Amino acid sequence: MQNFLKKFPTQRTTRVTRILTRTAYTKATTLNDNEFEHTVPFSSARLGHFTQPKPKLGNFLKQDQTLLKILEKNIPKQHYQTVEDDLLRFSERIASEIDDLGFQCEKEKPYVQTFDAWGNRVDQLVTCEAWKKMHNISAEEGLISLGYENPNEEWRRLHQMSKLYIFASSSGLYSCPLAMTDGAATIIRRIENPTSQLLKAFQNLTSRNPEEFWTSGQWMTEKKGGSDVASGTETVAVEQDDGSYRLHGYKWFSSATDSDMAFTLARVVDKQNNVIEGTKGLSLFYLETKKNDGSLNNIQIIKLKDKLGTRQLPTAELLLDGTSAVRVSELGRGVAEISNMLTISRIHTALMAISNMRK
C-alpha cells in the first residue's frame, strides 16, 4: 500500500484520499489489518457489496401447465372455463395481496394474554391482522364451501383443492385450520340425524360470509403420544343430567386455537367412575370453544407451543376443565368417526407440501 501511495503526485496524501484509494484498490494492497485500523477507522470495502433481485411471485396457475391439463381433463367442459377464470383471478390475488399477508403472519406471531389488567384469567389468544384477513379471504374465496355446495358434482372438490394448492404456500399457514375445518364439515355431513346445533355448525363451517365463517380444531394428541391415540388418551367425559358431557383432560398439541369449535376424543366415565381402556373406550365429542358471553368454554390455554417451525400457527396445550361438549359418535366409535376428519386433513397436508415445493 505504501508503495502504491507513493505513485500519487503528492506525498502529502490526506486521510480522505487514503480512504478512497484504499476502497478502490483494496485487492491490490498488502497492508495488514492493524496498519489499516491505524489510518482508516472504517471502510465500506470491508463489508463488500452483494445484492440480488427480490423474488417475484407470478401467476401460480399460468406457470403450472400440469395443473391446467389435469383440470381440463377432469372438469366437465361446460364448467371448465368458469373454474379456470376463477383460479387465474385467485392466483393474481395471491401474487398481489395474499402472499404479503402470509409473510406478515410469520413476522407477527400469535401470543396468549393470560391475565387482563385486573388480574382476571382471560387466556386471550392474540393474532395479527393478516391472520384475521386470511380467515375472511378463506370464506370469500369459498375455500371450504366449494367442496360442499353441490355434493353431487364431484369435480367441485377438484376446484376447491386446486384453490387450496394455490393458496397454501402463501397462506401464512392458514391452510392448517382450513384442513381441520374441511374435516369437521365432513364429519357433520356424515352424521345421520344431526341436531340443530350441528347443522348450524355445518352452515358456519361452509359459509362464504366472513362474519359467519367458522374454523374447527381437531384435538387428539395428548401427553402420552400422538400416534398411539388408543392408549394415549386420558381425557374423560362425565355425562350430565341433560345428556351433554363435561370434559376433563389435557390436549397436548392443538393447532388453530382460535377456532370456533373442535372435535375431540374422550373416555366416558360410567356410574362407578370407571372408563374403558384402549380404542373401545374412546368416543367423539363436539364442542364450541366459547360460551355465549365470549369467554372460553372452561378451557385454559396453558401455553403456545414453542415450535421449530410453523410459529405463525397458534398451536397450544389446552386444559379442559369441565368443558361442555356433546357426544356425536356411538360409545366407543370415536376413532372410527374422527378418522373421517383425519383422512381429509391428511389430503390437505399432502397438498400443502406440494404447494410449498411448487413455490
Interacting residues toward ligand FAD by CB under 6 A: 218-221, 225-228, 253-255, 307, 310, 315
CB of 345 to ligand FAD, least distance (A): 9
CB of 313 to ligand FAD, least distance (A): 6
Residue closer to ligand FAD, measured from CB, 226 or 322: 226
Residue closer to ligand FAD, measured from CB, 76 or 309: 309
CB of 114 to ligand FAD, least distance (A): 21
- Nearest by Cα to 178 from 222, 223, 148: 148
Residue closer to ligand FAD, measured from CB, 171 or 254: 254
CB of 318 to ligand FAD, least distance (A): 10
Residue closer to ligand FAD, measured from CB, 162 or 218: 218
Residue nearest to ligand FAD (CB): 226
CB of 320 to ligand FAD, least distance (A): 13
CB of 264 to ligand FAD, least distance (A): 8
Residue closer to ligand FAD, measured from CB, 204 or 315: 315
- The C-alpha cell at 239 is 355425562
> SS3 for 39-73, per residue?
HCCCCHHHCCCCCCCCCCCCCCCCCCHHHHHHHHH
Q: Which residues pair with 301 in a beta bridge?
A: 318
Residue closer to ligand FAD, measured from CB, 35 or 228: 228
- Residue 64 Cα distances to 207, 310, 355, angstroms: 29, 26, 11
Residue closer to ligand FAD, measured from CB, 75 or 352: 352
> SS3 for the chain, per residue?
CHHHHHCCCCCCCCHHHHHHHHHHCHHHCCCCHHHHHHHCCCCHHHCCCCCCCCCCCCCCCCCCHHHHHHHHHHCCHHHHHHHHHHHHHHHHHHHHHHHHHHHHHHHCCCEEEEECCCCCEEEEEECCHHHHHHHHHHHHCCCCHHHCCCCCCCHHHHHHHHHHHHHHCCCCCCHHHHHHHHHHHHHHHHCCCCCHHHHHHHHHHCCCCCCCCCCEEEECCECCECCCHHHHCCCEEEECCCCCEEEEEEEEEECCCCCCEEEEEEEECCCCCCCCCCHHHEEEEEEECECCCCCECCEEEEEECCCCCCCCCCCEEEEEEEEEEEECCCCCCHHHHHHHHHHHHHHHHHHHHHHHHHC
Residue closer to ligand FAD, measured from CB, 225 or 278: 225
CB of 177 to ligand FAD, least distance (A): 9
Q: 202, 185 in Cβ contact below 8 A?
A: yes
Residue closer to ligand FAD, measured from CB, 58 or 226: 226
CB of 210 to ligand FAD, least distance (A): 23
Q: Which residues pair with 111 in a beta bridge?
A: 126
CB of 226 to ligand FAD, least distance (A): 2
